[in-house]
Chains A and B, each alone.
Chain A
Amino acid sequence: MQGSTIEESKLNLNYHKEAEAHHGHPDHRMFGIFVFLLSDSMTFLGFFAALLIYRSIMPAWPPEGTPELELFIPILNTIILVSSSFVMHRGQTAIKNNDVAGLRLWFGITAVMGAAFLMGQGYEYFHAEFGLTTNLFTSCFFALTGFHGLHVTVGLLLILSVLWRSRDANHYSSSNHFGVEAAEIYWHFVDVIWVILFVLVYLL
């Protein structure tokens, strides 16, 4: 139930703003998205908790003999992902001014950045000196980054679908751009999770 107060106020905003658009039906989708993300964050919480428990009970963490993690690409990836959130936000600002071209531009850049992140991760996977089953740490590494990568992929698909729909210049407007907002909120969520993950897996 935590956080429901924030969501409620969000909802009320949407309630009034988009009430006209849907035949008198208030729009609950934003509320639903928040509830979903709350739930999804619990999945990550589960993974993180497992990781932290292993850390605290194992004599050495990462277990002795684990190859050093290469930090260059992950750091680059972090920079890309974090800045992509800002880039993406410009897209939303654009559509709020009815600037569809701006939306397409900024979302396009975000998509490229997202793809770059995934490619970076792919590179990291293929050049890792360890495998999924090398030891507990490497298993955790692949499970966590992999599950996050899956989320990035979904986020990327959302962005691409916004781009696809925005081919029709009238699809999104300053008063009607739920898809844009949803994709963006999801992307920020994935971003925040990455920062936590990065600290827990790479830095600690």
Chain B
Amino acid sequence: MNIPSNIVTLIAGIVLTLISLWYGQNHGLLPIAASNEATQVDELFNLMMTIATGLFLLIEGVLVYILIKFRRREGDTTDGPSIEGNVPLEIVWTAIPAVIVFILSIYSFEVYNAMGGLDPMAAHDMGPKKLAHSHQSELIAFNSENQQLALGLGASPESNQGANPLIINVNGIQYAWVFTYPDTGIVSGELHIPVDRPVQLNISAGDVLHAFWLPEFRIKQDAIPGREVQLTFTPTRIGQYPVICAELCGAYHGGMKTQLYVQTAAEYEQWVQQNTIADGETNQSIAFNSQSTEPDLLAPYAEKIGLEANSLALLHHSHH
């Protein structure tokens, strides 16, 4: 196996590196990043994309070269050279991937930690509790010693996210998201949050598994019936973003979508005002009228899906 060690190889190597570096930054495959954490994930992805492009070009390049260069000539029935291995070469191609994945692991760990994934206190899993369908008293008491298990994403250790987060309870049901603001008692089918303030979502599910996904924030967490999981993030960009259910939850799983509005503090206050005026009974209706902001998507199926009042009442009940 003679590795052609000439100018051509060198140039090819440089070109390959340049293309990889360029493509890693300019692939344009990701949607807008709307939080600091999202930007970090994107940087990680860009690095992986750079490495992947490099490896891709290298190996596909070799294959194409082989395809052209080493074809059997017409009439030649002899064998090729009997090379059975090359220990230094094999060590190299074992070591390089090992180093790459080592770096990737460390880097991913850093990013994950920065996202708050390892925050053990904020994001504790208290084990499953029995779902109460009729009586709240059926809930099994939490095992308070069992808090070392972290689930979801907690506060980022680098920022002061832990400080004064806006807490929202999120409940997934077939096929809608229900957001409850414990501070103000608002129940809504859409998520409104102020920009630059940490948000802490307490996610659970009322029937089957769902997954709460914000593509522009690069975060996702399964909503698990019987468990409460936490997701903390800080939006940095004003706008309207989709909220998507990413775990198969039944026939209309694809329609289980709503909107997230990141607003200025003032706009957010206004929204809170508007919705708390109509206190008490009416706020449920407000919440689910807002479903109609997504008319073309769910409206035709609303009947089949059956978002009925009693299922909502039930939700209200089990979620405190």
Contacts and interface: CB of A to CB of B under 8 A. Distances in A.
Interface of A: 57-60, 63
A96 to B, nearest CB: 49
B146 A57 contact: yes
A59 B227 CA distance: 13
Interface string B130-147: 000000000011110010
A59 B128 CA distance: 9
A20 B128 CA distance: 60
A83 to B, nearest CB: 40
A58 B146 CA distance: 9
Return the 4 tightest CB-CB contacts between A and B, nearest first: A59-B143, A57-B127, A59-B140, A59-B141
A58 B142 CA distance: 9
Main secondary structure of the interface of B (DSSP, over half): loop
A22 B223 CA distance: 60
Contacts of A59: 127, 140-143, 146
Contacts of A63: 140
A57 B141 CA distance: 12
Interface of B: 127-128, 140-143, 146
A59 B143 CA distance: 5
Contacts of B141: 59
Nearest to A61: B143
A63 B140 CA distance: 9
A60 B142 CA distance: 10
Nearest to A57: B127
A36 to B, nearest CB: 35
A59 B141 CA distance: 7
A177 B143 CA distance: 56
A63 B141 CA distance: 11
Given A57-B143, A59-B127, 15 more contacts: A57-B127, A57-B128, A57-B146, A58-B127, A58-B128, A58-B140, A58-B143, A59-B140, A59-B141, A59-B142, A59-B143, A59-B146, A60-B140, A60-B143, A63-B140
Give the most central of A57, A58, A59, A63: most B CB within 10 Å. Answer: A59
Nearest to A54: B128
A204 to B, nearest CB: 17
A50 to B, nearest CB: 13
17 contacts: A57-B127, A57-B128, A57-B143, A57-B146, A58-B127, A58-B128, A58-B140, A58-B143, A59-B127, A59-B140, A59-B141, A59-B142, A59-B143, A59-B146, A60-B140, A60-B143, A63-B140
A63 B127 CA distance: 14
Contacts of B142: 59
Nearest to A64: B140
Contacts of B140: 58-60, 63
A57 B140 CA distance: 12
Nearest to A135: B130
A60 B317 CA distance: 25
A58 B143 CA distance: 7
Contacts of A58: 127-128, 140, 143
A54 to B, nearest CB: 9
A108 B142 CA distance: 53
Contacts of A57: 127-128, 143, 146
Contacts of B143: 57-60
A31 B146 CA distance: 45
Contacts of B127: 57-59
A57 B127 CA distance: 5
A79 B141 CA distance: 39
Contacts of B128: 57-58
A57 to B, nearest CB: 4
Nearest to B129: A59
A63 B129 CA distance: 12
A204 B128 CA distance: 21
A84 B114 CA distance: 59
B306 to A, nearest CB: 28
A14 to B, nearest CB: 36
A101 B140 CA distance: 60
A171 B146 CA distance: 60
Contacts of A60: 140, 143
A91 B60 CA distance: 65
B163 to A, nearest CB: 31
Nearest to B144: A59
A163 B275 CA distance: 81
A29 to B, nearest CB: 38
A57 B128 CA distance: 7
A74 to B, nearest CB: 27
